Amino acid sequence: MPTYTPPLRDMHFVLHELLQAGDTLRCLPPHAELDDATINAVLEEGGKFAAGVVQPLNASGDAEGCKLDPATHVVTTPKGFKAAYQAYVEGGWPSLTADPAFGGQGLPIVMNQCLYEMLNSANQAWTMYPGLSHGAYECLHAHGTPEQKQTYLPKLTSGQWTGTMCLTEAHCGTDLGLLRTKAEPLPDGTYKLTGQKIFISAGEHDLAENIVHLVLARLPDAPAGSKGISLFVVPKFLVKPDGSLGERNAITCGAIEHKMGIHGNATCQMNLDGAVGTLVGEPHKGLPAMFVMMNAARLGVGNQSLGLTEVAYQNAVAYAKDRRQMRSLSGPKQPDQPADTIIVHPDVRKMLLTARAYAEGGRAMAIHIALLIDRELSSDDADERQACADEVALLTPIAKAFLTDNAWIATSHCMQVFGGHGYVREWGMEQFVRDARINMIYEGTNTIQALDLLGRKILMDNGRKLKAFGQRIAAFVEEHGTNEAMQEFVNPLAELGDKVTKLTTELGMKAFGNPDEVGGAAVDYLRVLGHLVFAYFWARMAQVALARQAAGDADPFYTAKLHTARFYFAKLLPETAGLMRSARSGVAPLLAMDEALF
């Protein structure tokens, strides 16, 4: 069975040595008193909870899955899930970063980022139950009426109730403009919702006493398409004016999906048979309101994959140090044994280092984004808030798609390290691969993330957000470019930055002539940008490690960091050359063939 050790040392490195998170946070009024020791103590406890309570339920939850009783519509989660959720609520974890006005602890988002990475490593399926509540909380916090906030936010904050997002219907997932669920106004100002949603994660379960569904639907006078969608809050149990639970609402689970992975999370078909809800935000403006939840969820999905990459890596390393097969090509490395451990073989190391480079690069990027969100939410400088919001907007599709594509590669490599033993259930490696696969699909497929990045976030923005990120890189190159020891990191970073600028201009020109060119290049382009961001963080991490060593610090952590940085630049970054070539080859090879010939 897999094991998991929270990567606290690397989290401390990223938080305190790379990003000076404490200093950044203490400049924000709500966190002025926060000290580094508190951050570390909370993460240590969070790690204990993830590894001690949630991780032991991962394999059993996968094997058991969720069960629906069709007569009562009750969904039972795997054994132990409910008790773990109760312990999570009693520990106060759901309220960690929530607004104190609604019972939250008001700690920075960056702490949830680290907590959730650990929970996802431990058990992605379980973590989705509390995870979805955060999106519902944020959406209602941003767009709810004072009454809705008072009704729902304290219970979502405490974890007494959980949340969902109900967007997808059988005939529409990507193109939500096609959705058909109806909402009819009732005389008392509420709405009656009728329709069917599918694939709703955590749509029904036995962990919490109520479930707060955020549902997209159409009002009777709605214009066609995405401009006619409104957002409603529809609780499983109606809430009485005193906050206690009332009647069961007519939103029920009709079926649960039998799927490739995340078996412990109930993926529900939800039937709305005249369910009562209230409008969130303005009529027909539901999609922009829902985007608050969707953006949070996109970063959350990237974090799911970061967690899986880390846990798969840890287990593959342990196996590679134990399993003996063959001899090193350059002669026996453990001559007193019948064979060498497989970690001597270059390609086994390549697989391990790939996972490690993706995990540590992803962690640096994800914590950086979380800190940007803290500054966006809490800075008292409006320009800083806007600059942070812009950078988060640029990096969100990259975090979602690049981290999830990387996890698919990394978990598959880590399974490969186990040979045939990776493919059988006993070792738990195939579960990581199966669980990782959904992350590339939901919350907008990775293709949709790529279109969002190249089309909306870059070309429609005249490259403004990208230029700002480029200035970050240029400043780093300027500062460290003359340091001999940094050449091997700074030079390829600067070179890739220049190439990205050129490629972006070329794609912009092509797209001007033919919008399909965006579709032909976007996926390759996102991966190139993912590498640009990773190269920036790997160069920065190398710089910190070199500086520590120069100051006489002999901690092997820094030696390992430098080896991993060198591996990243030598073996992973060169992928960008092929990707740029493919992006440049244009859309013609994709569209030339007549449909009938497929």
Where along the sequence are the contacts to ligand FAD (CB under 6 A)? 165-168, 173-174, 199-201, 259, 267, 438, 441-445, 447-448, 451, 519
CB 190 within 8 Å of CB 224: no
Closest to ligand FAD by CB, 136 vs 355, is 136
SS3 99: coil
3-state SS class at 274: strand
**Closest CB to ligand FAD among 114 and 165?**
165
DSSP element (H, E) containing 516: helix 516-550
**Bridge partners for 285 per DSSP:** 229
HSE of 283, CA atoms in CB hemisphere, 13 A: 13
Nearer to ligand FAD, 185 or 586 (CB): 586
Q: What are phi and psi of 182, to 5 degrees?
A: -105, 145
Distance of alpha carbon 317 from alpha carbon 564, whole angstroms: 14
- The distance of closest approach from Cβ of residue 502 to ligand FAD in the complex, given in angstroms and rounded to an integer, is 25
Beta carbon nearer to ligand FAD, 328 or 447: 447
- Is 443 a catalytic site residue? yes
Instruction: Label residues 163-177 b or e (16+ Cβ within 10 Å = b).
Output: bbbbbbbeeebeebe
Distance of alpha carbon 501 from alpha carbon 480, whole angstroms: 21
Distance of CA 196 to the CA centre of its chain: 27
Exactly one of 257, 443, 479, 517 is catalytic; which is it?
443
> What is the enclosing helix (H) or strand (E) of 184?
strand 182-185
* C-beta separation of 306 from 362 below 8 A: yes
One-letter amino acid for residue 567 of the chain: F
**Length of the chain in terms of residues written:** 598
Q: Between 115 and 438, whose beta carbon lies closer to ligand FAD?
A: 438
In angstroms, give the least distance from the CB of 555 to ligand FAD: 42
Nearer to ligand FAD, 39 or 579 (CB): 579
List the structure tokens of 217: 């639907």
Residue of 176, 216, 174, 210 whose CA lies nearest to 195: 216
Q: Is the Cα dihedral 191, 194, 200, 203 positive or negative? A: positive
Residue closest to ligand FAD when measured from CB atoms = 173
Under DSSP, is residue 504 helix (H, G, I), strand (E, B) or coil?
helix
Nearer to ligand FAD, 396 or 543 (CB): 396
Closest CA to 348 of 309, 306, 313: 313
Nearest distance in Å: CB 338, ligand FAD: 45
Catalytic residue IDs: 443
